[in-house]
Amino acid sequence: MKRNYSVFLFTVLLIFFQSVGILAGPPFLTDDPEPVDFKHWEFYLASSIQFDKSQSDATLPHIEVNYGAVPNLQLHIIVPMEYSRTDNSNVYGFSNMEIGAKYRFLQETDNLPQIGIFPLVILPTGDKSKNLGIEKAQIYLPVWLQKSWGKLTTYGGFGYWYNPGAGNRNWIFSGWEVQYDFSETITLGGEVYYQTADAVDSKALTGFNIGGFINLDEHNHLLYSIGKTSSTNNASTAYIGYQLTI
């Protein structure tokens, strides 16, 4: 009965979010294959930011919900409000929703990493005319690996983005992250990543982020990261968020 109630609650949340209307493993762009534990939840209230001299984009805020629907399977949704600034405009409003499911098909052993997939769909729920949305739905098909040795954990992988629309290109993202648990409270880590061009007038880029986690207690956590990309204007990136696990 409890399991049926949890699945029902997630379905209600999904329907609600769609009626009112990013990515990867917070606080990094690179993700891991480890799903939320069976019958458990993760809730995030966060902001993801990218800015350079000519443009700033940020989710202010976005809500992320993850639920362990069955063993090794996590359901996922992100609902964002977005702010976008250019030299000619400043806009704020509802942006593109993200839904997906993470499935771990290989458990970690002493010699082998855990491996999983995390397909995502970005829905065109924002207003493209105001620079707050995309023209057509995008699909992301990644594979992620993770291995731990005591307090040291490393994970990464790559994925293919289907990116339809005028002037767009399908593209590939790859990244790798390393983190270390300095205590039960503090974890610090960093990632490097590379992505191919996602539009006919753009170029491939590389980037990095450093950040970590502060575990206030068993259920309450703070997440943060800052970084740079090799884009034309040398963009800066940041993430700040609160996570509740139950």
| Domain map (residue ranges) of the chain | 2-245
pTM of the model: 0.87
Is 119 buried (19+), middle (13-18) or exposed (0-12) by CB count in 10 A? middle
Topology annotation, domain 2-245:
Lipocalin (2.40.128)
Written as tens digits, the pLDDT of the chain (246 aa) is: 444 544 444 443 333 333 333 456 899 999 999 999 999 999 999 999 988 877 889 999 999 999 999 999 999 999 999 998 887 888 999 999 999 999 999 999 999 999 999 999 999 999 888 888 898 999 999 999 999 999 999 999 999 999 999 899 999 999 999 999 999 999 999 999 999 999 998 899 999 999 999 999 999 999 999 999 986 668 899 999 999 999
d(CA 55, CA 84): 7
Alpha-carbon gap, residue 143 to 186, rounded angstroms = 28
